Amino acid sequence: MKEIKNFINGGYVAAASGKTFPNVCPADGRSLSVVHEAGRDEVDQAVAAARGALKGEWGRMSVNERVAILYKVADGINARFDEFLEAECLDTGKPRSLASHIDIPRGAANFKIFADTIKNAGTETFVMDTPDGTGAINYALRQPKGVIAVVCPWNLPLLLMTWKVGPALACGDTVVVKPSEETPSTATLLGEVMNDAGVPAGVYNVVNGFGPDSAGAFLTSHPGVDAITFTGETVTGEHIMQAAAVGLRDISLECGGKNAAIVFADADLDKAVEGTLRSAFANCGQVCLGTERVYVERPIFDEFVARLKRGAENMSLGAWDDPATTMGPLISEEHRNKVLSYYRKAEELGATVVTGGGVPDMPGDLARGCWIQPTIWTGLAEDSVIVKEEIFGPCCHVAPFDDEDEVIAMANDTHYGLASALWTENVTRLHRVAAQIDAGIVWTNSWFLRDLRTPFGGMKMSGIGREGGHYSLEFYTELKNVCVKL
């Protein structure tokens, strides 16, 4: 059986405790590997390696040297594209068509974009008058923040991890990554690429394990960590924020969502249906930016629901490497039980199940996987748990609305504030409504169209801080003002 070890100080390290856990493919339940669970010892070693690397060759490198290395990391991922692709697809069950267009290319692009960002980043200067008339100049120096703990989820493992590691390394920090226990493979493989690209030992470290009483908690409470960047559930974000409070460490939190799509009667219906199908069902509904609430203007409600139903029923569930597959499984049996509990609850609450609502029959080995039907409901009250809580599965509730103010209020009636999608051909309305939606990103006539220079993050319970472009530099560096009296 393949073993996945921790990656510490440029080498692969077994768990001293001998503790391992299985890595299982959610598509068919097969064992992929055994993973060495990092205990306090391995987390200590990883943090010490990261701290040591700050003082070594890495800390002395010029920005141009770091940028050249980060380009090599990106090229290294692309050179081993198929290995990363297979590892990601087996860990998650997601289709090749998705991972080859999104996960792996973005995993590589995240290194280049932040290399370019740091290379082109300037800082402020202020010339000031002084009472003696000689004046002074203030200029800011952007310096690495230190050792960054990077705690990641399982839904887009390489993409979301490199979205943090890319800017951290560009800024001259060192990292200790804690991948999700469900998806350890690509973070581990990246260690080889880092070594081949010439990233000095200790700059990139990976500790595997779980959250509480395991690698996640050991890492985020470690006094040698200077800042924590986290993507995952809001409740985990709250725990991490508490851990970060000790020692006043900085945090970046990208958490859950309950995102609304709004479809106005003047929308291009083909685009709106296609976009909503993607936003509700891509990655089997396991995208934090995905749509779980759809509001459709009443004149087109019935037609929209009928077309969404047809689209959902045309999704092809299957093996990751089958070119016909458009939807994979959920990540685990535990997560399927959670999503199915919402499916049952929706029926108990009297929802109309437009399509789906259960577990599909899958052929052969796939019958052992965590499959679930794409599901559409109508008819629930806006205050029902189905409309209020993040489910993180391939499902959405569709409700009609009658006017703009009403739908803005409905869309904003949530504790979350991550993303939204508006569908209208009326440009004036599009700007007017976008400005009033409480979300960190509002897509109009599109979904998951990403320019990596733009601010990314959530309002309310969806997170704290923004990442992307120079916003990432704000988190991954310390600004120091130097005041020069002339």
Sites for ligand 6OD among residues 432-461 (CB under 6 A): 450, 456
Q: Tell whether residue 251 is a contact of ligand NAD (CB under 6 A).
A: no
Distance of CA 112 to the CA centre of its chain: 18
Give me the least distance between CB of 197 and ligand 6OD, in Å please. 22
Distance of CA 466 to the CA centre of its chain: 13
Closer to ligand NAD by CB, 401 or 443: give it: 443
Q: Tell whether residue 300 is a contact of ligand NAD (CB under 6 A).
A: no
Q: Tell whether residue 421 is a contact of ligand 6OD (CB under 6 A).
A: no
The SS3 of residue 85 is helix
Closest-approach residue to ligand 6OD (CB): 288
Structure tokens at 299: 């004149």
Q: Tell whether residue 458 is a contact of ligand NAD (CB under 6 A).
A: yes
Q: For tokens 């089958």, what's the residue?
A: 322
Among 218, 250, 211, 249, which residue's Cα sits nearest to residue 233? 211
Q: Which of 53, 87, 161, 217 binds ligand NAD (CB under 6 A)?
A: 217
Q: Which of 27, 98, 152, 289 binds ligand 6OD (CB under 6 A)?
A: 289
Hey, what's the torsion of the CAs at 442, 465, 461, 261, to 10 degrees? 10
Q: Tell whether residue 181 is a contact of ligand NAD (CB under 6 A).
A: yes
**Contacts (Cβ under 8 Å, ≥6 apart) of 451:** none
Q: Is 146 left (phi over 0), alpha (psi -120 to 50) or beta?
A: left
Sites for ligand 6OD among residues 151-180 (CB under 6 A): 155-156, 160, 163
Q: Tell whether residue 21 is a contact of ligand 6OD (CB under 6 A).
A: no
Sites for ligand NAD among residues 223-242 (CB under 6 A): 231-233, 236, 239-240
**Rounded distance between C-alpha atoms, residue 374 and residue 167, angstroms:** 35
The strand ranges marked E within 202-348 are: 204-206, 227-231, 250-254, 259-263, 291-297
Sites for ligand NAD among residues 413-452 (CB under 6 A): 418
CB 279 within 8 A of CB 420: no
Structure tokens at 28: 């068919």
Q: Tell whether residue 178 is a contact of ligand NAD (CB under 6 A).
A: yes
**Rounded distance between C-alpha atoms, residue 161 and residue 175, angstroms:** 11
Give me the least distance between CB of 118 and ligand 6OD, in Å please. 17
Q: Is 22 exposed, middle or buried (0-12, 13-18, 19+ CB in 10 A)?
A: exposed
Report, as residue numbers or ranges, the catalytic residues.
254, 288
Which among 86-94, 112-120, 214-222, 309-317 is the span making contact with ligand NAD, rule CB under 6 A? 214-222
Give the DSSP H/E element, type plus range, for residue 194: helix 185-197
Which among 42-50, 112-120, 266-274, 283-291 is the span making contact with ligand 6OD, rule CB under 6 A? 283-291
CB 204 within 8 A of CB 149: no
Q: Which of 76, 463, 468, 469 binds ligand NAD (CB under 6 A)?
A: 463
What is the bridge-based pairing of β-strands 125-128 and 136-144?
A: antiparallel
21 binding partner (options ligand NAD, ligand 6OD, none; Cβ < 5 to 8 Å by kind)? none
165 binding partner (options ligand NAD, ligand 6OD, none; Cβ < 5 to 8 Å by kind)? none
By CB under 6 A, name the binding residues for ligand 6OD. 155-156, 160, 163, 287-289, 450, 456
Enumerate binding residues for ligand NAD (CB under 6 A): 151-155, 160, 178, 180-181, 210-212, 216-217, 220, 231-233, 236, 239-240, 254-257, 288, 390, 392, 418, 458, 462-463
